[in-house]
A and B are shown apart, each in its own frame.
Chain A
Amino acid sequence: MLFTQLEFLFFFVLVLVVAWSSRTQFIRHSVLLLASYYFYAYWDYRFCGLIFLSTVIDYTVARQIDRSSNPRFRRFLLCLSLVANFGLLGFFKYCNFFIDSAAPLFESLGLGTSSLSIVLPVGISFYTFQTLSYTIDVYRGVIKPVGRWIDFAMYVSFFPQLVAGPIVRASEFLPQLQRIPRWSSRRFYGGAQQMLRGAIKKVILADRLAEMVDVVFAGSDLYSGTTLLLAAFAYAGQIYYDFSGYSDLAIGAAKMLGYRFPVNFRHPYLSTSLSDFWRRWHMTLSRWLRDYLYISLGGSRGGTLRTYRNLIITMLLGGLWHGAAWTFVLWGLLHGLGLSVERFFRSAFKKILKDESVDLTFGNQSSSQVLQRFRVVINAIFALSVVLTGWILFRSESLGSAVGYLSRILTRADGIDWFPPLAIIAIACLFAEHLLWMTRFRPMMRLPFHAWYSPILTAIMVWVLLLYAPVGFKPFVYFQF
């Protein structure tokens, strides 16, 4: 079920009524658990078993890890959980990718290959990371295992975040299940507003941009380089609005039910560097990768070269997490290399500033100030270039088409063939939203209940949704991951 489907509205209203009228914790959690499984089964009931299996494994393993004082046995249990979770993820998500990638090798050996007909279960990447974070945190002693199975099952399958995040950690969510949330009309209103904003982002802005992006990326041979560049910008807007819109819907829905989710996006295109971008884009994933992968690999503790290696491996695997295709691997590699290059120049820059033998006088201004500004501008341009190139890789169906797309941008910069006015409006909204966030009008964006402009803007947003949503069924981009 999609948050933007009319069916979801009926479903959600019913869930809200039943959840808030539940007297006991057990009833409330049972209702939410059933609702979550129904939400997932609405897409395909056959894969509910996978979530159940993952829940049972990690619930049991975490409890055994906590009970055991034998380090070897605890490590064995952790490995068991890792193998089970990554095994499921690997089979459903990467099996065909590896078969297809190894096909030339098999053929050269005279062996035939054929792809399996495997359906990728929606949200498997997200709930696998959630259950893993729980087991690893219990293993590390960061949290204690949860007492009731139903609480853990609800944490894994809670429908607002089930299919596309945010990746909520057990330490953030499980404590909230210890008592029935207290009704707060302020929080309820805030959640509803956030859902409305998310729906506008997805249905009006992202889907409008998708109309251009889908056409241009599918037939890139038909358009000039300038049009392709504009479509790449449009895709940058589409994926931001699509995913941050989904996150707003998820966070808003959880808030209306009385739960809190972490923030997932913080205006990423205002980033002053690539590392800043990753602190603002899909924050719950970058946090997961940092804490459970980058730091596990050694982080920045083993010297410069090792740090670069860790960065590249982390981003490479982050790319592969997004999708089983070489375009995603290359996208991850590009970001890993970008982060390493940025880190290299940052340390080089620090050395220059510390080096007293270098003359840095520059007119009347403090030389370090000028250099700092210069660095910020260069970093921002570098980050934007990497991000935009990355999005082309991310959106292209194959490496060949991505290379063709990029080369056409560089070699065929004729006039603009086609650029729909509504896409221009959507991109203007992207700029306006990011710029507004930097001004003193930022609180306005949350539409406080007591503010005079809130009802006016609310009415406008509802009418805009009803009137200008593009026709047709457009799933969220991140559903494929």
Chain B
Amino acid sequence: MCIEARGLSRIVTVKLNHANRGRDKLSHYRQVSDALVHSNREDAKRPGTLPLRFSAALVIRWLIGLLIGTTLIAVTSPWFTRSYLPLVVDPVRQTWVLSPGSEYRWRSEGYANTKIGPLGLPGKLSSSGPDRNLINRPPLPADGRSPVLRIAMWGDSQVEGVCLDDSDKLFAITERLCGGVVQVFPLARSGQDAADWVTQMPAVERALQIDLHVMVLADLEDALAAVQAPLAPPSESDVAAANAAIAARFPAFVIQAARNLLTDSDGVSPRRLRFGLGPVGTGVGSASNATVINGVVEIGGPSPVTKPQSAWNAAVSSMKRATAKPIWLVDAPVSPQVVDGRVQTRTLQAPDFIAMQEAVTQHGVRLLSARERFREEASYGRWPHGFQNGRIGSGHLNAHGNRLIAEILAKAILTIPGVPSSAAADQPTSALGD
């Protein structure tokens, strides 16, 4: 390229010098054009730059080569591309789950493989404590007290933890920290909110003999959806059904490529092409209730856009109606978060937290919060969110973040009266929380 350009430039200059000696414009340009054509012909004579002559053999060579290239990508893609597993409807939970017995890969942040257990439980294949049977509870002793507390853990992708090894997932750490006195069922599913959890609660409670429901909320507003429960059962017309069919038919790298091509940057909404003229809008939103202190943005104080207190009350009330078992809410926001180089922290004065606190107090639901602990740890550079290959301080909970929540949860579990193996195990499990 460089040699060609230099040659071209030299020819052009030489011809231009000739032209400047008084020749007319037209002949000047014709000469330079001739020079260009001549240079192209010279290029064509050089070895390695032969003119293209199509032949059947060449076409076949190209087809085979393209196939080999695609095969190489197919073979190596599991190292870099997440998997797309066919979803199935779990008969107990009545929702779409990853097929039990399969293995799920996550690659965009935190390289991890997750084995899918019964009921689509990510990472939970067997019981960790004395309760050997994962699903069915052994017969209760004569006093009616179970040696193991069975907890249903609900949440979204933050709690599902497919970007973490199974031993670093929230349910696994909680079980370890509690020393085998609890059996935690990871029922969290990416994209789900309180409406899905509340819908599944009664059936799951019966099937797994749940003693306690724990909802881990990355965004407190996810709890507001509880009022929409119960949701309609899954049907063949669901988007998930279509996705399941696609996942069953095509390799993951093809699905990923098609998804990148056909959807917007969120990976969900269909890509919209714009062919109209500009100007292009550059609206940038900002948190209006944020204050900046030494580079740290604190989100707290009155907010102009909040849901009314009644919405929070109605949501918690919906949850309570769905089960007779105790419910704990765990507040685990994506905070502190690095946004545009600034640390954004959600404080205990944030409007959503205050509203939720008031609602749970009214309904006797226990609320645990990890936000202060998150803030403290991040100030020492130990960020609860983000991964080495993503961005530290944003994204999903990492192993440290999960451990922080598990510590708060385990501490709460082990200190309440009624936990079977604790020192004060003299009360029935119904004494939890309420």
Contacts and interface: CB of A to CB of B under 8 A. Distances in A.
B33 A6 contact: no
B280 A43 contact: yes
A463 B267 contact: no
A463 B51 contact: no
Contacts of A214: 341
Contacts of B307: none
- Which of A145, A422, A449, A463 lies at the interface centre, i.e. has the most chain B CB atoms within 10 A of its CB? A463
Interface string A441-481: 00100101110111111111001101111011100000000
B278 A6 contact: no
A96 interface: no
A448 B69 contact: no
B261 to A, nearest CB: 6
A10 B271 CA distance: 14
Given A222-B343, A260-B8, A467-B257, A184 B65 contact: no
Contacts of A420: 388-391
B66 A459 contact: yes
Contact of B33 (A176, A251, A463): A176
A45 B51 contact: no
Contact of A456 (B49, B65, B266): B65
B388 A459 contact: no
B338 A463 contact: no
B42 to A, nearest CB: 13
A296 interface: no
B143 interface: no
Contacts of B295: 219, 221
Contacts of A38: 277
A56 interface: no
B278 A455 contact: no
Interface of A: 6-7, 10-11, 38, 41-46, 141-145, 147, 171-172, 174-176, 178-179, 182, 184-187, 189, 211, 214-215, 217-222, 251, 260, 262-263, 266, 417-422, 443, 446, 448-450, 452-460, 463-464, 466-469, 471-473
Interface of B: 1-2, 5, 8-9, 12-13, 15-16, 19-20, 25-26, 28-30, 32-33, 35-37, 40, 44, 48-52, 54, 58, 61-70, 72-73, 77, 80-81, 253, 256-257, 260-261, 265-267, 271, 273-275, 277-280, 295, 338, 340-343, 381, 388-392
26 contacts: A6-B261, A7-B274, A10-B273, A41-B278, A44-B279, A147-B25, A175-B32, A175-B33, A175-B35, A178-B29, A178-B32, A186-B49, A186-B51, A189-B52, A215-B338, A220-B341, A222-B343, A260-B5, A419-B388, A420-B390, A449-B52, A455-B63, A463-B257, A468-B80, A471-B265, A473-B265
Given A221-B295, A457-B69, A471-B265, 17 more contacts: A6-B261, A42-B278, A44-B279, A142-B20, A145-B25, A172-B9, A174-B29, A178-B29, A182-B37, A185-B52, A215-B341, A215-B392, A452-B65, A455-B64, A456-B72, A459-B68, A468-B80
